[in-house]
Every structure is written in structure tokens, then in C-alpha cells.
Amino acid sequence: MLVGFPARFIPLVCICIFLQNLVLSSPISTSQCPMNFNYVLTIPWDSSACKNNGENSEFDASGGCCQTLISLYGIGFAQHLKQTSRFRLPDLSTSSSCLSDFQTRLNSLSLDKSLTSMCFEPHRFVNTTNICANIQTKQDWLMALGPSTSLDTGCSQNLSDLTACDACVHAGFQVQARLLAIDGNISHAKGCFYYAILYAAGIVNKFGPESAGALTCIFGLPLSLQAVSRGTGELPLISGSVGAGFAISVVLCLIGCVIWWDRREKGQEVSAGFSSLESYVDDNKLQHWEPQIGSICFKRDDLDKATKNFSSKNFIGKGQFGVVYKGKLPDGTMIAVKIIIDSDFQGDTDFIREVEIISTLKHRNLVPFLGCCVSRGSNYNEEEDKRYLVYDYMPNGNLHDHLFFSEKGKFKDGKRPLTWPQRKSIILDVANALAYLHYGVKPPENPNSFLITDWAWLLVKAGRVKEAFDPFLLEGEGSVNRYPKEIMERFLLVGLLCAHLMVALRPTILDALKMLEGDIEVPVIPDRPIYTHENVFISASTRKKP
């Protein structure tokens, strides 16, 4: 028996010794980081932005230090992708372990011991399908895009050359557009671009993610002046004035950081990650969130007052995703308020992401976006939650009001039918807006409903193109209605080509715009496949108008 040790504690001591031996003899349960961060100590990156964060100085998480560290951290992920074929880490424990290892290397450079905690959040690097096109591995990438993309030709060479770097960046945007088209969710644009970055550096570039070209071009990592001026190894000598050359390099790196690794948005807490996954579930964050680019976060009470509690007298119309009301703000500004009733938004997070994107769109052919509102229901009942989008009010009504008669055979509110120049201008404006957005939408596919494109198709194929024109455009011989029928026919054919059942035969929006403007010829419209549903449509000969 142990001298001076109470006998009643001996069983407890034995249990503790047993558990200790069990732990020591078992594999370590703590997840180990699969990435090697030794490159932090070997590559000549410029750490000056992170050396002025002492206890008495206020740390700016949106400043150059975090921007530099996210680029530096990304190198490890590109190497990880190369070795494991995985874009992200398996779980939160592994992510925390990697950040700890990364901080250890930073400590070796006498940098602040809390940098990773101030710049990163572990969950932002954990594997998930909700980033871009359900991609998690290299195999997923290949299945989505095929064995070769523009990245393979644009980013494989030495990217230290500015021309080569520019080609690689351009290829990155092209691949991002393809991924986004597959994903279908424009809020994943940033995540898709980050995946393009990792793939370009880790898989495509034959010099590897730690090469000078990858560091400066793909990751936008600032290099030290001393390393640039040495020009040893892979780092090329910069001809001419070293100072001037370095200044240009710094500017390019800063631009690269903004383009490639920009992950912060105004009004949000900044924490780095390879995708913009800020969570707005937290009520406090939601209350203080405001959209960027000058848009307004309206209060529900203000919208109630503006629309007179959404009075039926202010009802404008109803679309696929919402109901629109007219309103008037206290300063006299007329607004159109859209109540979202059906959408693909998965909660407030997706909605706010979309608002951030919409608020950046400025184009003369797009209705100006003013702001939004998120209204909570009682007891946070999701069914009572409402979301609103606020736009400039368009007093001239919508296109439908100017094209089709009302039930009484007259146009709404005494409006006159649109002349051909007006219709041509509208079509070109819509095409320009679509070209600006550079984002395709899928029309509803319902074989049991009559589509105006099928009606026009039958007339064109029967050689009766004139019957597809609005009779108003063919009335009289006066100067007002004597429109060039050849141009109207060209516009009609372009519309049919864009709506062709064979998607592969449809032109791009840019080519369609060139056809409309007469810059290129409209090709012969190919016949439809034999499995169309023309038999369900009423004969074109029995229809005077759609």
C-alpha cells in the first residue's frame, strides 16, 4: 500500500492508470493534417503586411495580412489537390489541425501567434457539395468538364511571363463560366472560381503551385523585394530598373489578390475561405447586414407605408416568382416592390447572396435595383418569413401591355400598339442585356402547352412568314407602317433559332446579337428532330394570331 495515500483512492488511481495505458496503446484519435506547410519557410513571400500587428495595434482582418495569408494557405490546398485529388479537407477536426500547423510555421517567422484565428475559420475549408457543381474531387471535375479545358492550355506553362499570366487568368474565367452553367446557382460563382484556381495551380501547371509563376499569377502572392532582385532558381531577373519592375509586380499581385482571392463583402465579418460561405442564420448579423454598392436594406414598415399595406389598388402584376406592387417613398420616389413567393432560395443566406450579386449589376437595359427587405414571421415561422426586392417603378407598364389586346379588344389604358422601330429597339435592348448578364436561363419545357415559337415555326416552314407578323405592322402603305419586311423576317428567324429544340444548334447570345444587327448572316434553320410534339398543336392555318 502507498504510504500516506488514502486506501479509498487506490481503485480510482488504478482506473486512471488503465485508461492512460489504453490511450497510449491506441492510435491517436486527433486528426492529422494531410498538408505540408514547410513551403511557408522556404518560398520568398513578403510577410511585411503581417509584422505590424502587436498587442497595441488594431488588427484589420480585411487588410493586406489576411489577403496575403489566404493566398499562402491556398498553395497548400493546391498541393493537397495534386496529391489526394480532393479540393477540401474531410472534417472540421482536420481543418483545425491544418490551421494549427500553418500557425506553427508563421510562429517560426516571429509573426503574431493569433493570425490564423483572426483571419480564418476552420469550417470554411471542410468538404461539402455546396460550393460549385457538386464537385469534391478531381474525378468530379473531369466528369463535369471533360479531360481538357481552357485551363489546360492557358495555365500549363511558365506564368512568370505577363502575357502567359493574362492568358491563364482569362482561361480561369472561362472555366468558371462553364462550371457556373452546370451548377445553375449564380451565388456559387466565387466558389467555382476558387476551384479553378486550385485546379490550375495543383493539376495543370507543370511547374507546380510553389513555382514563381503560380505564386504571383494564380495566387497573387506578393514576393519580397530581395527575392525578386536575386533572380535565383525559378525567380527570373527583372530587366531594367529593379525598383520599377518590382513596383509593377506589386501592383499586379494586388490586382491578382483582389480578382483571385477576394472573399470579403461590405458589411460582413471578413474570414478567409475558398468560397463565400458567410452564414446569415445568426439573427444579429442579419439585422445589421446591408447590401453593397449603394443599395438599401428597407424596413418592412417602410414598404407597408409605401404600398399602403400592399393595397390591391397598387397591384401591378404577378410573375413566376413573385407579386409586384407599386409604392411611393416619403421623398416621392416611385418604387416597384416584388414579394418573393416561389424561388430556389434556400433560406436567407441564399437570398442575401443573390442580392449582393444583383446590386452590382448596372446596365441601361436592366431595371435599376434599389434594395431589399427580409421580414421575420412570428416565432421565426419560416412559412411567415417574407423577402422583398425593390426596383425603380416603370410607369409605362410591361411589354405585354403594348403587344396584346385586353378582353374588350382594346389595349390597356389606351396604349397604342408598338411600331416596328420600337419593337426592334426592345429586341436589341433585351439581347444586349442578356449579353451583359452572360447567363443563360432555361425556358419552361411543357409539351402539353402551346408555345408561340411552335406556332411561328410552322408558318415559317410553310413559307408563310408574313402571317407571323403582327397585322398592325402590315397595315397601310404610309411611311409609319412601311417597315422593311426583310429585317422583320431576320429578327423572327433569329428568335426561332434561339428557341430551337436542339440546344446545341442555338447560337450564343453574342452571335444572336450580331445576327440581329446584321453583322453576320442568319444560317439556314435546321429541321426539328422527328420526336417533336407538333401533333398536339392546332393547325397554323386556323390561327390568325398567337
Torsion, CA 111, CA 113, CA 117, CA 118, rounded to 10: -50
Question: What SS3 class is residue 253?
Answer: helix
Q: Which helix (H) or strand (E) holds 303?
A: helix 300-306
Tell me the per-residue pLDDT of 255-310, one tens digit each, with 9 for 90 and over. 344 333 343 333 333 322 332 323 333 333 334 344 444 456 788 888 999 999 99
Q: Is the pLDDT of residue 245 over 50?
A: no
Q: Is the pLDDT of residue 9 over 60?
A: no
Confidence of residue 415 (pLDDT cuts 50, 70, 90): low
Residue 39: which residues within 8 A CB-CB, separation 6 or more? 75, 76, 79, 210
Please tell me what DSSP assigns to residue 362.
-
Do residues 539 and 514 touch, judged by C-beta distance below 8 A? no
Please tell me what DSSP assigns to residue 318.
E
Look up residue 191 and give its three cell numbers: 466558389
> Residue 167: what pLDDT?
84
Helices (H) and strands (E) in the chain, counts: 21, 6
Question: What SS3 class is residue 325?
Answer: strand
* Length of the chain counted residue by residue: 546
The response to whether 326 counts as a known ligand-binding position is no
CA distances from 11 to 14, 17, 19, 380, 465 (A): 5, 10, 12, 52, 98
Tell me the per-residue pLDDT of 363-372, one tens digit each, with 9 for 90 and over. 555 677 788 8
> Residue 348: what pLDDT?
62
CA distances from 151 to 157, 196, 275, 401, 497 (A): 11, 8, 20, 47, 31
Q: Is the pLDDT of residue 152 over 90?
A: yes
Residue 93: which residues within 8 A CB-CB, separation 6 or more? 30, 31
> Residue 225: what pLDDT?
55
Q: Which helix (H) or strand (E) holds 283?
A: helix 283-288
Identity of the amino acid at 380: Y
Angle made by CA atoms 95, 96, 98, in degrees to the nearest 5: 65
Q: Is the pLDDT of residue 329 over 70?
A: yes
Report the alpha-carbon distance of residue 205 to residue 157 in Å, rounded: 6
> Residue 406: what pLDDT?
57
Q: Is the pLDDT of residue 39 over 80?
A: yes
Do residues 253 and 222 touch, judged by C-beta distance below 8 A? yes
Map out the domains of the chain with their CATH numbers: 39-261 (no CATH), 291-395 (3.30.200.20), 417-542 (no CATH)
Neighbour count for residue 498 (Cβ, 10 Å): 19
> Residue 106: what pLDDT?
94
Do residues 201 and 166 touch, judged by C-beta distance below 8 A? no
Identity of the amino acid at 244: A
Confidence of residue 222 (pLDDT cuts 50, 70, 90): confident
Least Cα distance to 517 among 540, 494, 545 occurs for 494
> Residue 509: what pLDDT?
84
With cell 490546398, the residue in question is 77
Q: Is 413 exposed, middle or buried (0-12, 13-18, 19+ CB in 10 A)?
A: exposed
Tell me the per-residue pLDDT of 229-238, one tens digit each, with 9 for 90 and over. 444 333 332 2
Q: Is the pLDDT of residue 425 over 60?
A: yes
The most confident of 47-51, 75-79, 422-426, 518-522, by mean pLDDT: 75-79
Strand partners, 371: 296, 390
Q: Is the pLDDT of residue 199 over 60?
A: yes
Do residues 93 and 100 touch, judged by C-beta distance below 8 A? no
- Longest CA–CA span in the chain (Å) reads 121
Report the alpha-carbon distance of residue 503 to residue 430 in Å, rounded: 20
Angle between helices 485-498 and 420-437 (to 10 degrees): 30
Identity of the amino acid at 404: F
> Residue 450: what pLDDT?
52
Residue 208: which residues within 8 A CB-CB, separation 6 or more? 79, 82, 201, 214
The pLDDT of 159-165, averaged and rounded, is: 81
> Residue 545: what pLDDT?
39
Tell me the per-residue pLDDT of 488-538, one tens digit each, with 9 for 90 and over. 888 988 988 888 777 777 888 888 888 888 888 888 877 765 434 333 333
Confidence of residue 482 (pLDDT cuts 50, 70, 90): low
Look up residue 384 and give its three cell numbers: 411567415
> Residue 208: what pLDDT?
93
Do residues 339 and 347 touch, judged by C-beta distance below 8 A? no
Report the alpha-carbon distance of residue 483 to residue 473 in Å, rounded: 7
Phi first, then psi: give them for residue 121, nearest 5 degrees: -125, 125
Q: Is the pLDDT of residue 43 over 90?
A: yes
Q: Is the pLDDT of residue 394 over 70?
A: yes
Report the alpha-carbon distance of residue 59 to residue 125 in Å, rounded: 23
Rg of the Cα atoms in the chain: 30
Report the alpha-carbon distance of residue 495 to residue 179 in Å, rounded: 26
The most confident of 50-54, 428-432, 439-443, by mean pLDDT: 428-432
Angle made by CA atoms 376, 380, 382, in degrees to the nearest 5: 80
Q: Is the pLDDT of residue 50 over 50?
A: yes
Asked which of 5-19, 394-408, 420-434, 453-467 is least confident by mean pLDDT, the reply is: 5-19
Three-state SS across 125-150? HECCCCCCCCCCEHHHHHHHHCCCCH
Do residues 372 and 388 touch, judged by C-beta distance below 8 A? yes
Confidence of residue 377 (pLDDT cuts 50, 70, 90): low
Confidence of residue 141 (pLDDT cuts 50, 70, 90): very high
> Residue 160: what pLDDT?
84
For every residue of 407-438, DSSP letters joined together read: TTSS-GGGPPPPPHHHHHHHHHHHHHHHHHHT
Question: What SS3 class is residue 120?
Answer: strand
Q: Is 57 exposed, middle or buried (0-12, 13-18, 19+ CB in 10 A)?
A: exposed
Question: What SS3 class is residue 297?
Answer: strand
- Choose between 409 and 71: higher pLDDT: 71
Asked which of 113-127, 332-346, 448-462 is least confident by mean pLDDT, the reply is: 448-462
Mean of the per-residue pLDDT values for the chain?
Answer: 71
Report the alpha-carbon distance of residue 101 to residue 44 in Å, rounded: 19
> Residue 59: what pLDDT?
54
Q: Record the pTM.
A: 0.43
